[in-house]
Structure 1
Amino acid sequence: MGKLEMKNLTKTFNPGTVNEKTALSGLSLTVEDGDFITIVGSNGAGKSTLFHAIAGVFYVDGGSIVLDGEDITYKPEYRRSREMGRLFQDPMRGTAPHMTIEENLALAYLRTAKHQNAFFSRTSKADRAFFQDQLARLGMGLEDRMRQPVGLLSGGQRQALTLLMSTMVPPKVLLLDEHTAALDPGTAEKVLEITKQVVREHKITTLMVTHNMHQALELGNRTLMMDRGRVVFDVAGEERSTLTVDDLLAKFRQGAGKELDNDRILLS
């Protein structure tokens, strides 16, 4: 299960100073179990801030976050991490470069264990065979390099490994923050295909920020557009299937009252 409900989320950075910035402005959103939502928006729209709030990087100033009926608004990040997976734009984040591939996988695997002494456990021979099988499914030959430091991998290999670490034990929610944007086109496409396969196989509730308008309409089952810390457009189903990129831009203009000002999106 992975139903996520957010009501009236607010977050302001540096309140009462000249640098005051409202990042979330009364945002409400219900993500149904199994939804794969793509999110696009203007610069500073609050997309990454929303992910930080969901993951528990910081607590929101107001509002609530409920996951499968449990109020997690003030649940610490380390506890939420057992139920959430997250990938960042930078492939260097999410893995420990001086540890081997096997050690990184073991950390991720034990982190999701529910028993109290999980971090003091050791992986078994069966666990290592499981890791090797999972790596083989990536199609990158990493199953034969389990003893090599992760720092020797390419950006695409590290991002694929991070994806595997985040979903090896399927999370309730997967957060993808432009996770292919820093990769070359060929590698980005491969990582995206792996992403779609993993999400589809495990039916993981997924939110993906993207700067690619075509991806926003082609991936998943629902698309959101954000501006100034709020959702200005939310579309799914048959209506979404008939939209073009120009339609999305028009919907943004209608909902936000201005043109989309993200050059990366407009040039994608």
Structure 2
Amino acid sequence: MFFVIGELINSTRSEITKAIVEKDDALIRRLARTQSEAGAHVIDLNAGQSMENEVRDLQWLIGVVEDELGKDVRLAIDTSNPDAMETGLKACSTPPVINSISNEKGNAGLIKLAAESGAEVIGLAMGEHGMPKTAEDRLEETRALLEKCDHAGLAAERLYVDMICMSVGSGPEQGRQVLQAIQQTKAELEVRTFIAVSNISFGLPNRRLLNRTFLAMLIEAGLDGAIMDPTDKRMMDAIYTSRALLGLDNYCMQYIKAQKAKRGK
């Protein structure tokens, strides 16, 4: 199964910030529902735009989405704030996904909290040297992250490592470097790989075309999951078709199921 986290309830989007400030739950409910129905396995919640109110706002988002989709919905707590993370872990009825931890200095507390939570975790292939530029940089940071997590008691089986995607508009080699990083990580390390797909197209026209083309390439390279817009039907099609053609979808069952759903059968 390719793991999809729905990205749309994020306070970096002005309409989400407005809904949070005004406690207008209609938009939050609609986005939670449409992402779930489109095929997202997890709904990401980010309330960090207002740092002073993040804990309270995150609790509100969790309550709204669980009321809309049920207590068994899986959520991703999207924060680097330990207080918000701890609050989110306690507030979720079903164990959430932690999004995210990194190898940066000062993150030991978050890693410890993640280890003790029992939750699945998104870990960033990024550390003291800032954003990785090459595939080898990403592989080196992944090794360091795994070592730090192992020391804290966080098993690699609970991790998805985000390979840190940056726009090809500002770094033409970045797409190729991410693909190589995934291939090398899958060959050398026993850990699942993850990506924020839409970062690849930042600042460029027709972003959706770039996103879905890159997603197909990522899946061929061995990508295990992504945070993305699941309501983009062509993006979801890229997942089903790529996996079917690569022999990753047994007897094309998920592809067939998706096509039947389109026809309402």
- Structure with more of its chain in helix, by fraction: 2
TM superposition score category, shorter chain reference: 0.3 to 0.5
TM-score normalized by the length of structure 1 = 0.39
TM-score normalized by the length of structure 2 = 0.39
- Structure with more of its chain in strand, by fraction: 1
Highest Rg: 1 or 2?
A: 1
